[in-house]
Copies of this chain bind each other. A is one copy, B any other.
Amino acid sequence: MPNATPFQTGLRQHRRKLTRGRQVILDIITQATRHLTPAEIYRQARDKYPQLGLTTVYRTLDLLVELGYAQRVHLEESCHSYLIATRAHGHHLVCSTCGRAEEFAECDVNALVRLLESRTGYAIDAHMIELMGKCPNCQTKLRAHNARKK
């Protein structure tokens, strides 16, 4: 099979199938200059492929992220947890295992901000830095757990 697209190849490697819906969804996010929500993608996709279901859009997006063809953008809306405010400008270091969080104030993004403003023309007015890792407690537990396994 000559001229297979990277997407076709990637799917075959994972024993997944290329379907019309998947192709349409990939085309849409490939051509977009904007991040799109599942609902927006669904609306656009139906113009090209009316019987497509919203369920399939969700499933396809998960697949595209899993295979590395799409990425998620995190926005300010919804999906929050809350933490007491201790500093005016806090970023977070969150434990991916237990959810414990440390706040930190250091963030030297000024150089980055200036670079990107001149490259893109954006007027940048806010930033968010979130670090993820394992807290000391969870590291200890994990080590103990692994030792027990042997």
- Which chain A residues in 1-59 approach chain B with CB under 8 Å? 29-30, 32-38, 41
Interface residues on A, range: 35 or more
Taking CB as reference atom, which chain B residue is nearest A37?
B81
Instruction: Say yes or no: B128 contacts A94, CB within 8 Å.
Output: no
| Distance of A60 Cα from B83 Cα, bound (Å) | 13
Taking CB as reference atom, which chain B residue is nearest A142?
B123
Instruction: Say yes or no: A32 contacts B70, CB within 8 Å.
Output: no
Question: Given A120-B102, A122-B102, A129-B127, A94–B75 Cβ distance below 8 Å?
Answer: yes
Residues in A lying within 8 Å of B, measured CB to CB:
29-30, 32-38, 41, 61, 64-65, 68-85, 88, 90, 92-96, 98-102, 104, 106-109, 112-113, 115-117, 120-136, 139
